[in-house]
Amino acid sequence: MDLLSPIKDHHSERRLFIARVALASTIGILLLGGVVARLVQLQVVDYEVFAEQSQGNRYRIEAVPPTRGLIFDRRGRVIAENLPAYQLELIPEQVEDLDDTLQRLAAMKLIAAEDIENFKELSRSGPGFKPVALKLRLTDEEIANFALQRARFPGVDFQPRLIRHYPHGEATAHAVGYVGALSKADLERLEQSEYAGTNQTGKTGVESGYEAALHGDVGYNNVVTNALGRRVPADSRDVVDALPDNVTAAPGEDVYLSLDLDLQLLATEALRGQRGALVAIDPGSGDVLALVSAPSFDPNKFAVGMSTSEYSALQNDLDQPLFNRAIRGAYPPGSTIKPMLSIAMLETGATNLQHTTMCIGYFSLPNSTHRYRDWKPEGHGEIDIVNAIAQSCDVYFYELSVDLGIDNIHRYLDMFGLGHRSGIDIRGEHRGLVPSREWKQNNFSGYDARWYNGETVIASIGQGYMLATPLQLASAIATVATRGERYRPRLVAASQNTVTGERTLYPPERLDDIRLQDESHWETVILGMHEVMQGAKGTARAAGANAEYQMAGKSGTAQVFSVAQEDEYDEDEIEFRLRDHALFVAFAPLENPRIAVALIVENGSSGSRVAAPIARAIMDEYLGYGDDAGN
């Protein structure tokens, strides 16, 4: 061991200290240089970029939803309006825990727990700054309760909005339609920039068909916010030199319908408690004067927001109140097609004014024992075409249909618009069905693709494969009323710019007329229809009695199920929903007709007894002969 070695080497320690100080100084200088360089970059090099971002944080663009256009009837009476209300809204980007927020709102009963997933999906499907409507109309109590808890719900608030309101509720629901909350499917279909700030869109009827006109154009307000993103009150703002100009929202156009509200309300009341539909048309223009489907629903429930369970209850209702029977209900038209079929028989020579048939209560095809029964078991005796229409003799049409043939039946009914969508200006119309040999070949195979004479026989009274909507029947009978002039049915007659007051009238759309080889055939058929309601033996003479004007009509009965050959149809023994449907078509006055009506009462059994009086009441009201007529 070296006893002379020093205990402490001051020289080495001094060199180590100097090296460490130099290293620390170098690192410090480098770090300071980095900070200075970064400050230069932020404040000098990238000044404009960050200044623009700063202004962007200071300014916020808020969408201003346009005021939805109003809807009026033909006399200017309000059918759809806007009322002020407070709605609960959520801005997704301002909510930290979306699921927890929605759960707590549900606990307060401000939203339904079953709708939470739907709200979460809507919150994620659109821009984070766009408000999501949670409840479209808050009660005063709900507003007070939420106001006490508002601090616990950042990003959620209630805002004053205009809510759609339908003063006549279910009476106009199927014609006018309703607005409802934007769904994910709506957001994918619509241009989102046009619906910024808007939480509703038209779902059915006129509200949907004329959505573009009714909606209007969204506006934008540029507002100044503080560091927390809240709006700065006007009296405490800093001077803002370059605040962009606001864009004013353009309100939607007002829409004027062809509907007559008096007729609409009368038809609604006439069908109350029943399932069915009624359509009334002006034969000279195609204007739809009334369009009712029963039972109906309250469209206001959709406008203010409906829970999933409430909507499911409507969807699953056995009576289908959401189903628009007037344009979507496809029914066997029964004997209501006999006027159009008579035109076909007269034009093709299958019959004429002198031809008669002996009706013994049934008809059988050659070499067949199957009996096609008449509605009158004892038969009508010897009968011509006018009386066959008036008394609705099935045997007359059975016999002549074989000579006429299914393809001629198809050709002539096609001319009247049966088997085709009428082209009415609302969506969802059913096309109906008029069968033909070609149709059967394309839709069946093997022996089933063959057309049989027996199928022609039952087609002659509007049964078998044949289907028509009440709208199609109304349009067809309107064509008979005008002696072949045809117009496309329409619900909207005009629109008006709410800013300029300029009104745009929509002219009636003329379709191809039906030109007969012998125009007198129109009068023959119309005479038979006149006898239906005001003749000595007409099937609906009770409904047409004591009228102060001349009218024409045709009753119809459509089987819901077939009765076996050996069985008799006993209404009292049949379950209600299996009873025959009651149909009726009519127009008036006989010359220069102003209204044509078609209606069906499901399971009403008798068109003459059940449906005809309703048609008569509608015509009375419109022509000024009703109890409360004010025309």
Active site residues: 335
Per-residue pLDDT tens digits for 452-477 = 999 999 999 999 999 999 999 999 99
The whole-number average pLDDT for the span 124-150 is 79
pLDDT of 6 reads 56
For residue 521, the Cα-to-chain-centroid distance in whole angstroms is: 38
pLDDT at 630: 40
Q: What average pLDDT does the segment 22-35 reach?
A: 84
Query: d(Cα 159, Cα 87) in Å, to the nearest integer?
Result: 6
Tens of pLDDT, residues 167-178: 999 999 999 999
Residue 380 has pLDDT above 90, yes or no: yes
Question: Do 279 and 470 touch, CB atoms closer than 8 A?
Answer: yes
Q: What is the mean pLDDT of residues 192-212?
A: 86
Residue (of 259, 260, 291, 298) closest to 276 by Cα position = 291
Is residue 24 scored above 50 in pLDDT?
yes
**What pLDDT shows up at residue 3?**
52
What is the structure's pLDDT at 521?
A: 96
Who has greater pLDDT, 492 or 148? 492
Please give the structure tokens belonging to residue 490: 């329409």
Cβ count within 10 A of residue 26: 10
Helix 338-348 × helix 470-481 angle, to 10°: 50
Non-local (6+) Cβ contacts of 55 within 8 A are 242
Position 431 scores a pLDDT of: 95
Choose the weakest-confidence range: 95-104, 399-408, 593-602, 614-623. 95-104
The answer to whether 528 touches 390, Cβ cutoff 8 Å, is yes
Task: Please state, in angstroms and rounded to a whole number, the distance separating the CA atoms of residues 554 and 240.
Answer: 75
Mean confidence (pLDDT) of the chain: 86
Specify the pairing of strand 200-202 against strand 179-181. Answer: antiparallel
Q: Is the pLDDT of residue 526 over 90?
A: yes
Q: Read off φ and ψ for residue 556, nearest 5 degrees.
A: -155, 150
Under DSSP, is residue 221 helix (H, G, I), strand (E, B) or coil?
Answer: strand
Distance CA 165, CA 178 (A): 9
pLDDT digit string, tens, across residues 322-349: 999 999 999 999 999 999 999 999 999 9
| Least confident span in 92-106, 121-135, 173-187, 225-239 | 225-239
* pLDDT at residue 152, rounded to an integer: 84
> How far separated are the first and last CA of the chain, in Å rounded?
134
| Domains of the chain listed by start with CATH number | 68-215 (3.90.1310.10), 261-623 (3.40.710.10)
CB 544 within 8 A of CB 616: yes
- The 10s digit of each residue's pLDDT in 44-55 is 776 666 555 555
Lowest mean pLDDT among 4-8, 67-71, 142-146: 4-8
DSSP annotation string for 526-581:
HHHHHHHHHSSS-TTHHHHTT-SS--EEEEEEE-SSPPPTT----GGGS-GGGSPE
Cβ atoms of residues 267 and 614 within 8 Å: yes
Pairwise pLDDT comparison (85 vs 422), residue with the higher score: 422
* pLDDT(631) > 50: no
Percent of the residues in the chain that have a pLDDT greater than 70, as a whole number: 88
Q: Per-residue pLDDT averaged across 576-580, rounded?
A: 74
pLDDT value at residue 601: 95
pLDDT at 473: 97
pTM score of the predicted model:
0.82
Task: Give the DSSP letter string of 358-390.
Answer: EE-SEE--TT----EE-SSTT--EEE-HHHHHH
Tell me which of 103-112, 280-289, 443-452, 616-625 is least confident: 103-112
Q: Is residue 162 within 8 Å of 84, Cβ to Cβ?
A: yes
Residue 159: the pLDDT is 78
pLDDT reported for residue 358 = 94
Query: What local confidence, expressed as pLDDT, does residue 19 receive?
Result: 80
- pLDDT on residue 514: 96
Mean pLDDT across 517-530: 96
Please check the confidence at residue 280 and state whether its pLDDT lies above 80.
Answer: yes
Summarised one tens digit per residue, pLDDT across range 234-278 is: 454 454 455 567 777 789 999 999 999 999 999 999 999 999 999
Mean pLDDT of 112-140: 77
